[in-house]
Amino acid sequence: MSMIQEVPTMTTKEKPQRAIPEGLTPFDLKQMYEAMIMTREYDERCFKLQRQGRIGFYAGSFGEEACQIGTAFALEQKDWIFSSYRQPGVAMHRGVPLQTMVNNLFGNAEDIVQGKQMPVHYTHKAHHFLSISSVIGTQVIQAVGCAMAAKVKKDDAVAITYFGDGGTSSNDFHSGMNFAAAMKAPCIFALVNNQYAISIPVQKQTGVEVLADKAKAYGMPGFQVDGNDILAVYKATREAILRARRGEGPTLLELKTYRAGPHSSSDDPSRYRSKEETEYWLKRDPIALFREYLTEMELWTEAWETEIRENAQARLSEAIKIAESLPQPAWETLFDDVYSYVPQALADQKEDILAHESGLELTNEGEFPL
């Protein structure tokens, strides 16, 4: 049976409760805030890089920092993450090196995938952080498969997958939800409802008013959580993970938030949403809300804020400087990691391209083999 939790709207004028959620310490709370700031600084810098023509594309997560860091803090290193392109904060918290992420944006020779993926398609095997494809929803069924593997192996790991409100219309969402519920896979479905699938508002995407209600059709619990309240996100995710580890199956978490910026560097949100709507949600900035909580807990100071922002900016500047100094991937890497073995046709094409690159005569009378 699906369980829906309506979360009352909290404004910046309201004081949060002083209680620290179970599983967290004051030190954890400060780390969470630092991670949110780093995520915001990363987004702002990367959009500037794209506007300056230094990288080709970027998809930001402005306003969604609580969804990222709140869920990430509830996970353990043994757990598996199948993200969308809007979770850089999850990758950084998990331990994916900042340099690795920035190298992906530039697609340089040190990029793990050698420029074969678009920017913001991060991956890091050692930290159980799996790359998405650009096709909406594919990570959902991949996460379910991984969760089932963990269940079969009895290794006590869970898988979490992130997707947007638009992703709930994909075939892979329905297939993944149904299979996970039927097989009691230890999988967490983190539905980041930022209320727009590029330019289409959620009201035009589905007849369901509360997206968490979709869990009812598959026989799993579904909760709607205030996605701008990092502690609410953490508590809901922690409970879902504990439930999965107990062998009770998957949970759908609808993290209701707002995409404060554009869908990507190729988008102009002013063409499809009002200034008033955006201003309303900016007043519920998750970083500002959490700052008020930390101030109430006497854990925040202006000097500390300045320090962590300057540190984040310095780390970004250094990573970007290194990434820009690296060469592009060598031509021969175009053929690597495509097949488990190299077909003869591909080997011939590689030989021809390398010959052309070195100024030698092409084989097959200058034609590429079919």
Is 258 designated active site?
no
The 3-state DSSP class for residue 201 equals strand
What is the C-alpha to C-alpha distance for residues 80 and 143, in angstroms, rounded to an integer? Answer: 8
The 3-state DSSP class for residue 103 equals helix
**Do residues 120 and 59 make contact, with C-beta atoms less than 8 angstroms apart?**
yes
Is 272 designated active site?
yes
Contacts of 243 (CB under 8 A, 6+ apart): 221, 249, 251
Dihedral over Cα of 344, 346, 347, 353: its sign: positive
One of 259, 284, 291, 293 is an active-site residue; which one?
259
The 3-state DSSP class for residue 270 equals helix
**Do residues 263 and 44 make contact, with C-beta atoms less than 8 angstroms apart?**
no
CA atoms in the 13 A half-sphere facing the CB of 165 = 29
**Do residues 171 and 141 make contact, with C-beta atoms less than 8 angstroms apart?**
no
Degrees, nearest 5: CA angle 33-34-40: 90
**Do residues 41 and 61 make contact, with C-beta atoms less than 8 angstroms apart?**
no
Contacts of 363 (CB under 8 A, 6+ apart): 348, 351, 352, 355
How many CB atoms sit inside 10 A of residue 152's CB? Answer: 8
One of 121, 127, 263, 291 is an active-site residue; which one?
263
What is the C-alpha to C-alpha distance for residues 211 and 181, in angstroms, rounded to an integer? Answer: 17
Contacts 24+ apart (CB under 8 A), 340-349: 345/369, 345/370
Is 259 designated active site?
yes
Smallest CA-to-CA distance from 323 within 108, 24, 21, 98 is with 108
Q: What is the largest CA-CA distance in the chain?
A: 76
- Residues recognised as catalytic: 259, 263, 272
